[in-house]
Amino acid sequence: MNHYDASFLAIACALMTERPRRWWLAGAIPALAFALTLLPLGHFAAIVAALVACTPPLRPAAAALLLAAPRYPSVRAAAVSAGLYLCGVAVLAALLEDRLDQDAVPAFLRGTPARLLVLAVAYFSLLPVAHL
Amino acid sequence: MSAPVQFRDLVVELGFVTSAQLGDALARQDELNGSGVRSHLGHLLEDLGYLTPAQHRLVLVQLDMQRALAALPTVRRSARHGWVVAALAPVALLSSPLAILAAAAVVLVGAWLAQGRPGRWLALGWAASVLVPGAGAATAAAAGQGGASPRLRESVLVALIIAVSAAVPLLPIALSPGHLLLIAALLLALLRRRPR
């Protein structure tokens, strides 16, 4: 799983589970995970990042842990991942979430399936950009 | 949480129509509703000549922005389908069948031992990743499950999905999160029995 995949799974996670009040703090996890790889910690870098992701302000920590999972090759990758997560949750949660729950959406797609579809379409739409 | 911003309030607040004009439009809307015709207040105001199409669009954009800003700090309550994420994560991280089976085992044992305690979930995932080489998926599954859905019934379902995904030879392309999200969306849509 690369950082791009992790960002989308984290967005899906944030949309479908209870978000902590300070959900945006998880946006700092990619930068932290990248910074830890610069230290001589070896495999412990991932473990330390996972521990930080489990700190109380980020609970429930599933989204933060998903962001801590991949290995970030550069600071740019970490920034892209954080940006994707923050924009994804903000846009999907704030702008689309209510609309996707409305009666205009067919009943079998309403709510979670529609959210996942939007996320999947966004994943494939942005994939070429991620390879630049 | 405060009540959501209404179109009727915003259109007056922005000064595009007066209260009297709004009253006219609302009365007309009641009439139409009485005869079984559903009509949008914005379109009615346009038809009555009180609102231009450009102003109508502006009000809708403002409405979206205000609702977005109001929704940002709130906490999402629904955790109904959190188990989907818990099942998706280890599949996306697929490394070896043994690692995937370890993830399924962690989810099952965690539902029994850790329940709603994220620290215990993390400890279990950590232990699994030490015992089973390359079991990073186990940690992710444990974390996902611990944060998403600690109930036993859903944990068994997640463990089953993970175990099946280890047994079924999926095409490599099907392992991208995009495909998994699509599959999950279609499965949820197909399995849905009644509208919310």
User: Regarding predicted confidence, which is higher, B16 or A95?
Assistant: B16
Residue of B76, B119, B189 lying closest to A109 (CB–CB): B189
Distance from CA of B141 to the nearest CA of A (A): 9
Would you call A101 an interface residue with chain B, using a CB distance cutoff of 8 Å? yes
For residue A68, give both structure tokens.
């801590």
Distance from CA of B22 to the nearest CA of A (A): 25
Enter the DSSP assignment of B176: S
Q: ∠ CA(A26), CA(A28), CA(A34), 5° rounding?
A: 120
B69 CB burial (10 A radius; 0-12, 13-18, 19+): exposed
Tell me which of B81, B91, B129, B158 to substitute to probe the interface with A (most A C-beta atoms closer than 10 Å). B81
CA distance A23 to B47: 44
Q: From start to end of A19-58, where are the E strands?
A: none
Residue of B64, B79, B118 lying closest to A61 (CB–CB): B118
Which tens digit of pLDDT belongs to each residue from B124-135?
777 776 677 666
Say what percent of chain A tops pLDDT 70.
85
User: Regarding predicted confidence, which is higher, B78 or B190?
Assistant: B190
Say what percent of chain B tops pLDDT 90.
0
User: Regarding predicted confidence, which is higher, B1 or B28?
Assistant: B28
Residue of B92, B139, B194 lying closest to A50 (CB–CB): B139
Distance from CA of B150 to the nearest CA of A (A): 11
The ranges assigned to domains in chain B are 7-75, 78-193
State residue B189's pLDDT score. Answer: 80
State residue B74's pLDDT score. Answer: 42
Q: ∠ CA(B166), CA(B172), CA(B175), 5° rounding?
A: 65
Distance from CA of residue B140 to its chain's centroid? 19
Chain A's closest residue to B176, CA to CA, is A5
Residue of A20, A54, A127 lying closest to B122 (CB–CB): A54
Q: What is the mean pLDDT of chain B?
A: 71
B6 CB burial (10 A radius; 0-12, 13-18, 19+): exposed
Which tens digit of pLDDT belongs to each residue from B174-183?
567 777 788 8
Which tens digit of pLDDT belongs to each residue from B113-164?
776 666 677 777 777 766 776 666 566 666 666 655 556 777 777 777 777 7
Which tens digit of pLDDT belongs to each residue from A71-114?
888 888 889 899 998 888 888 777 777 777 777 778 888 878 88
CA distance B178 to B59: 35
Contacts A–B by Cβ distance under 8 A = 162
Q: What is the mean pLDDT of chain A?
A: 79
Supply the ipTM of this predicted assembly: 0.77
State residue A23's pLDDT score. Answer: 79
Would you call A8 an interface residue with chain B, using a CB distance cutoff of 8 Å? yes
* Contact (CB<8Å) B80/A112: yes
* Contact (CB<8Å) B86/A90: no
Residue of A5, A97, A108 lying closest to B189 (CB–CB): A108
Would you call A114 an interface residue with chain B, using a CB distance cutoff of 8 Å? yes
Residue of A16, A60, A110 lying closest to B196 (CB–CB): A110
State residue B113's pLDDT score. Answer: 77
Distance from CA of B20 to the nearest CA of A (A): 30
Would you call A44 an interface residue with chain B, using a CB distance cutoff of 8 Å? no
Would you call A109 an interface residue with chain B, using a CB distance cutoff of 8 Å? yes
User: Regarding predicted confidence, which is higher, A72 or A129?
Assistant: A72
